Structure formats: structure tokens, C-alpha cells
Amino acid sequence: MSETLILVQEAPGRRFARRYGIAVAGAGLILAWLLLALLAPWVAPYDPNFVDVAGRLRPPSAAHWLGTDALGRDVLSRVIWGARVSLLVGFGVVLLGAAFGTLLGATAAYARGWAEEALMRVTDLVFCFPPIILAMAIAAALGIGTLNTMIAMLVVWWPKFARLARSLVISQRALEYVEAAVTSGAGPGRVLLRQILPNAAGPLIVLVTLDLGNAILVFAGLSFLGLGVTPPAAEWGAMVAEGRELVQQWWVATFPGLAILSVVMGFNFLGDGLRDWLDPRAESR
């Protein structure tokens, strides 16, 4: 009896959904929050800072979908406006830290010598402290405020990008295409910016994506401790802090906490998908 081997090929759409479905879901979450943040003046049903003492601590209802806080402010409006602050700080800290750290680490690795050694000692010094503890100390010294908190986070954020960029440049600088560029007469700056960094950008893009959620989480933690935004500005971490003792009025802290969770998960899902897509050694499944 002859046996027939039947090969079943998976549909391209199903294969894409299985491999990148979570990343697409994460991108959808992030896009939704970006749209809410951009359209906050038109989407939010109330002024986020409008105080209505007579309507304080009301549960979710048709008038206030997510309830009101201890001052009678609409929780939904404050969550929407808080997305502006959290996303702005997250993108600002990560993009600035990535740009500075990548440029510094790549330059030091390509130049070698004392510059590379000095950079490694500085990054090792920063890595000696837990990032959140060091950021808390710097933020407390600078004073309460969004700008001061961003500066404190930037101090502890750039070394990871500098170390990654250094390792990527070291692995790339001995390859044939770099030697060909040098032989053709290209200067160090052109070789670094036009040749090495574009070919080593994949891991840096993944780290930026994953770190966006981490930055938002750290900023929320600092605001929860009173080192972030100045009242009465709407920010997710500060909103969670305002409701931490209101056990029966669970909605005050729950909904901003869920907002933080959704954004962090969205960036993590997207980062994992980008890592699979940009990794040239990933096996097709």
C-alpha cells in the first residue's frame, strides 16, 4: 500500500496573525492612547481640574463613566488628560536618552582608547544604583515638577543605550563593509553615522520600544511618591496615590492604574514583535 504525504501550507494571513498578532494588538493599544491624548480637549467630557465638592466620590454612572475622585473631579477626564503627560514624558525621556547615549557610546567605541574606557567607568558608576532610587534622589534634590523629574530620569536612562551602542559598534567595526568604506576615503563620522549605526539599529529600536513603557512606569512611580507633577495636574501615578487609601471608592485608583498597565503592556507587546521582525536569525514559522 502506498502512502500519500499531504503537506498543508499555513495561510499567510493566519501565519502573520500567529507570529505578530500580539505586536499588532500592542500597537493598537498605543495608537488608541495617542489619539486620546491628542484629542483630549474634544474627547474628555469635563474639565479635568473642575472641582465639584457636592459630587465627590461618586461611583461610575451615566454622568461620570469612571466615577469622581475626592474633590468631585471626573476620573475619566483626568485619565484622558493624564495620558498627555505620561506619554510626553515617556517619549521625551527615552528618545533623548537614546539619542545621547547612542551617540556617546558609538563614538567612544569607534574612537577606542581612553574615551571608551572613561565611558565604561561612568556607565558602571550609574549602574551601581537602582535606577528608580537614583532618579528619586535626583528628583528630590531638584524639586517637584515635570521638567525636573524628566532631568532626573535622563541622568539614569542614557547609560543603557551607551553600553548597547558600544557593543554593537565593536561587533560591526571589524566587518568588511566598514573596511571598504574606510578604504574608499570615508571619514570616521561618515563611517559611523552612514554605515555602522544604520546596520546596528535593530537592537536599539527594540530597546527604545520596550523602554517607553518602562519610562512611563517609572514616572508614574515618582509621581506616586510626590516627586512628579505638581497638583492639580492630571497624571496617572498621582491619581493612583490620591486613591490609595480609598478602599471602598475603588474606582479612584483602579482606572488610572489600568491605564498604566495597558500602555506598558502595549509597548512590551510591540517591542517583542519588533524584536522578532528585526532579528535576521529568527526562523520563519
- Domain with residue 122: its CATH number is 1.10.3720.10
- Cα–Cα distance measured from residue 15 to residue 212, given in angstroms and rounded to the nearest whole number: 28
Domain count, the chain: 1
- Cα–Cα distance measured from residue 197 to residue 107, given in angstroms and rounded to the nearest whole number: 10
User: Is 14 among the domain residues?
Assistant: no
Helix pair angle (12-38, 251-278), 10° resolution: 140
pLDDT at position 269, please? 92
List Cβ neighbours of 55 (8 Å cut-off, separation of 6 or more). 64, 68, 72
Q: Which domain holds residue 178?
A: 69-278
User: Is 22 among the domain residues?
Assistant: no
User: Is 33 among the domain residues?
Assistant: no
User: Is 9 among the domain residues?
Assistant: no
Provide block-wise average pLDDT over 10 residues at a time, the chain (285 residues): 48 59 89 95 93 91 92 94 94 94 86 78 82 87 89 91 88 74 68 76 88 93 89 90 88 94 94 77 48
Closest CA to 192 of 132, 263, 109: 109
pLDDT at position 2, please? 46
pLDDT at position 285, please? 43
pLDDT at position 5, please? 45
User: Is 55 among the domain residues?
Assistant: no
Residues constituting the chain: 285
